[in-house]
Amino acid sequence: MKELRSKIAEALLSALPITLIVYAVALLPWFGFSQTELVTFTVGAVLLILGIGLFNLGADLAMTPMGTHVGAGLSRQRKLWLLLSVCFVLGMLITIAEPDLQVLANQVSTVMNGTVLIYAVGIGVGAFLLVAILRIVFRERLGNILMLFYMLLFALALLLAVNENLNLLPLAFDSGGVTTGPITVPFIMALGVGISSVLGNRRSQENSFGLVALCSIGPVLAVLLLGIFSGNDLIYTVPDYTVSEDILGSFLRTAAHTALEVAVALGLIVVFFLLCQIFFLRLPKRQLLKIGVGVLFTYAGLVLFLTGVNVGFMPIGFKLGYELTQLNHWLLVGLGLIMGILVVLAEPAIHVLNSQVEDVTGGYVTKRSMMIGLCIGVGVAIALSVLRIIFDFSLVYYIIPGYFISLGLSLFVPPVYTAIAFDSGGVASGPMTSGFILPFAIGVCVGLQGADAVLRDAFGVVALVAMTPLITIQLLGFKAIVSNRLKERRAMKRILDADDQQIINFM
């Protein structure tokens, strides 16, 4: 109970800033939040806080241990085919269970079938989880693999950018961003730690990260290929973001629907884990009981979180963006920067990543420095997204230079920083981004450019949130290298000066 109170307190501090921004905007004389909307948002905020607290506790008790045990247990079998087969299925199941992917699918159901999108993304994650595992097994450098696949993505992006009838680029990159959320991150990162602990080598620290980074590439390729072969006309309709007057009924209906979806998704993961337990894990009953309790906390947390986001946050995010278009455009960009900085604090998977980074690096990369880097990166991403909506230009002008810079930095920083940075990009674009920031961007786009421009201009915000931390985190690594070299030079200079003084005294 003490741990639960601590988690809920952390969640309260995380969600409070973005909640206060909404209340502050509601006080503006020209802003038209109704009493029903404010009550709905308040209830949604309470559910979100409880959900994040329960989920974080569940991730500590269940998702992270499950990933570590499965990774280590499979590696001990010394059967590559078994390791790859199980990881592929796990990658698919975890992706299907990912809440922020479901949030995105619900918002683009008019573009393509939401279920088809989810399963296509699941296959992409499963395939690239295999690539990540093979990288660890054969001890390949992460930077080289990232360059190879991002070059392929750039080639497809340029091909699709000139085809106006197939403008899937923003949605495809958004799919890669939302895939790595609160379920995927603890499990996949723990899986990498488990595999690296058994197949460890001199780069085991680097190998503990990078799985999330590679798993973010698969969905982008999958959605681009899905769009190419499906031949859809990409007819987009803005979802209905209105708040129901029946507040209680709205929350109950959404909670019932969400409870069923989460039960199916988590149930598949639990069944698969139990099969692993029967055939090769054989964990003691005490550990299984602890994991079972953690799964229940995870389930309750996800149901509360998704209900709060879908009913309370998405409609308010849309209206906030739409109404704020009355502001000066540069003030709107500044507000986007502030919202991006604060939204990172409410992403549940961010805290899991930061803790694992500090543990694996032995405190060399602190939670504080990670959080500062992520806040700056995401804040810049939202500001750049608002600029793109205002001036109406292609996502390509951000994505290609941004990834070239991040891949270029990977040549100059320690490999562990590259792995952490690319993992951070996927983690930063979680359910708060798809459930609040994306509706906010859609609202801004509808207010400035009209509904017809949403698919082209509003989508892509998640992709930018996933991209900018790649640069900021690697810059932290570059700064660390420069600082260490300056310290070494100063130390060497002191030694040489001391030797020269001794020679002078001797003479």
Please write the tens of the pLDDT for every residue from 265-290: 788 888 888 988 888 888 898 999 99
pLDDT recorded at residue 384: 93
Of 391 and 372, which is predicted with more confidence? 391
Residue 328 — very low, low, confident or very high, per pLDDT cuts 50/70/90?
A: confident
Between CA 140 and CA 126 the distance in angstroms is: 19
What is the reported pTM?
0.82
Between CA 436 and CA 440 the distance in angstroms is: 6
When pLDDT is averaged across residues 478-482 and rounded to a whole number, the result is: 76
Lowest mean pLDDT among 81-85, 117-121, 364-368, 420-424: 364-368
Between CA 18 and CA 362 the distance in angstroms is: 32
CB 273 within 8 A of CB 66: yes
pLDDT recorded at residue 250: 92
Q: Where does residue 245 rank: exposed (0-12), middle (13-18), buried (19+ CB within 10 A)?
A: exposed
Of 230 and 284, which is predicted with more confidence? 284
Between CA 145 and CA 141 the distance in angstroms is: 7
Using alpha carbons only, how large is the chain's radius of gyration in Å?
A: 23
Q: Which residue, among 42, 60, 56, 41, has the nearest Cα to 9 in the 3D structure?
A: 56
Please write the tens of the pLDDT for every residue from 306-326: 899 889 888 999 999 998 888
pLDDT recorded at residue 499: 57
Of 486 and 405, which is predicted with more confidence? 405
Q: Token pair for residue 243? A: 């708040």
pLDDT recorded at residue 182: 67
Q: Where are the domains of the chain?
A: 2-286+304-506
C-alpha count within 13 angstroms, C-beta hemisphere, residue 401: 4
Residue ranges of the alpha helices (H) in 59-113? 64-76, 80-97, 99-107
Please state, rounded to an integer, the average pLDDT across all residues of the chain: 81
Residue 165 — very low, low, confident or very high, per pLDDT cuts 50/70/90?
A: very low
Q: Return the percentage of the chain with pLDDT > 70, whole number.
A: 85
